[in-house]
Chain A
Amino acid sequence: MDIKAKIIDDEGFTRTITRLAHEILEKNKGSKNIVLIGMRTRGVFIAERIRNKIREIEKFEPSFGTLDVTLYRDDFRTRLKQPEVSVTDITFDVNEKDIILIDDVLYTGRTVRAALDAVMDLGRPNTIQLCVLVDRGHRELPIKADFVGKNIPTSINEEVRVRLIEVDGEDAVYLVNAPNKN
């Protein structure tokens, strides 16, 4: 990794998660109708932490699921490697629920578009709200996050890397140099 800057350290991480949990509860009026869906792979871990925080604050645990959007992607033909599918695990009914989709980084918006299609194939939710740890700009579709941990403006030659203890051994968000991969 060619690191340019550490945007969030481990303490900042915890504070951001806490704030996001409070925002979600505030906007949905502490409602018991919310369900959390983490987008594979890192979105799942972030969603778990938000769930734990909500449990701490409200003493109730919202329903939790994981979503694999590979089958809904729009970039099969252009990607260098064939994407590997994984399992979607949503065992509850999504009808009339307020779904909080949770991912680590929001960039072009295409992954979220795929996630919207995937969730709509499961039923008709009341609302779908988007919660991301980082918004790095450069949207290619009209997608907006409802809850943002941090806005990090980036150029095309940069990337945002989210590191998690569960996967990478530390909690941090880095801004790194990445050569233009077109």
Chain B
Amino acid sequence: MKIVLKQINLLNPEQKLNQRCDLLIEDGVIRKIDDLKPEDLKSSKVYEFENKYCVPGLLDMHVHLREPGREDEETVVTGCNGAAAGGFTAVASMPNTNPDTDSAEIVRFIKEKAKDHLVDVFPVAAASLGRKGEALAPMYELYEAGAVGFSDDGVAIKSSLVLRHAMEYAKMFSAPIIEHCEDESLADGAMNESITSTILGLPAIPNVAEDLIVMRDIMLAEFTGAKVHIAHVSSKNAVELVRQAKKKGINITAEVTPHHFTLTDEMVKTFDTNYKMNPPLRTRADIDAMIEGLKDGTIDCIASDHAPHSIEEKEMEFIYAPNGIIGLETTLGIALSDLVHKKHLTIEQLVEKLSINPRKVLNIPQVVIKEGEVANLTIFDPQQIWTVDIAKFKSKSKNSPFDKRLLTGKSIAVINKRKMYFEDKFFDI
């Protein structure tokens, strides 16, 4: 089948590609990147995508797909549906499944579930068995089964000794250790520690709980020479530590979630559990540091930390409710509204944060937009104004604080593996 994306803005900073023209795709492969003649258009399905952007498929590198174990909250398939609706052609799934993704069977199980989907799933496996931080997981076997990184996400790798070994081991195949940076003994709380937590009488987690582990991991990364990626950074001090580490040439990368560059801890005053996440929402100063970190390259990636939870789990007394919100279907819109339109990042830089850098961190081959290459594309309209309507989300869970928010910038379509998702439907191309 032939499709044409007409007069689209092609953009890929990695290829230094910035061109407006037609794009012809046949049977899922890019055939022509040029203004097309009427004959070419005749036998094709033409999409009038003037003023829209076409970029290498976006990859959300921090997603909880909940399968196996919590299929009531999300499955691999529903999560991928949400990813496609959000403009992603690939996701990296986190290992805190049930059972944990600490065996090759589970990695293969997850990949099998996503086999026929438009969206690629790259599992991140546990670094330690059961994510207990005591014994190494079978990392080589996991890597061969398809794991792209290792993490005990949900918690930090508890023992520094185990972390050291995991780093040295993973270095053999250049896989990153992805760390959820949190010192457990300091982190018994439901929100950020500040004057707001004092007024609200909620147990609280200070910035230093994150900073301590970021510092530990940086020093161990320097010591071992391993590749370490800081998941969902939220503290301004942590950003500064990463900045200094990069200056020293230490192999450290970092990601930030949209909620950590837009929402402050004051939102907790409503006691709405959709403002309860880990790391917690922090102060204005922390948000400014996140944005600054994105601008100067200290923070390499934007990832959603998509954490589906069932209604009865979130509809609970605040201190008992689980942490986390969904994010696949709002990440691009929020990034465009709050970063690009506020002139903090250009669209090119955004493509780096959402597509190019995540693939670099996870050692996944970059998408190339070139004649003869398989099409792996995200098409979005940075000017489209839309209202978030959670009821229409493809994700099985609905726990998001962004319902009814007005955003400027929306994903229009995604193309990958000979499939296209457009106007709420998947079809072969």
* Direct interface between A and B, CB < 8 A: no
B interface residues with partner A (beta carbon < 8 Å):
none
A interface residues with partner B (beta carbon < 8 Å):
none
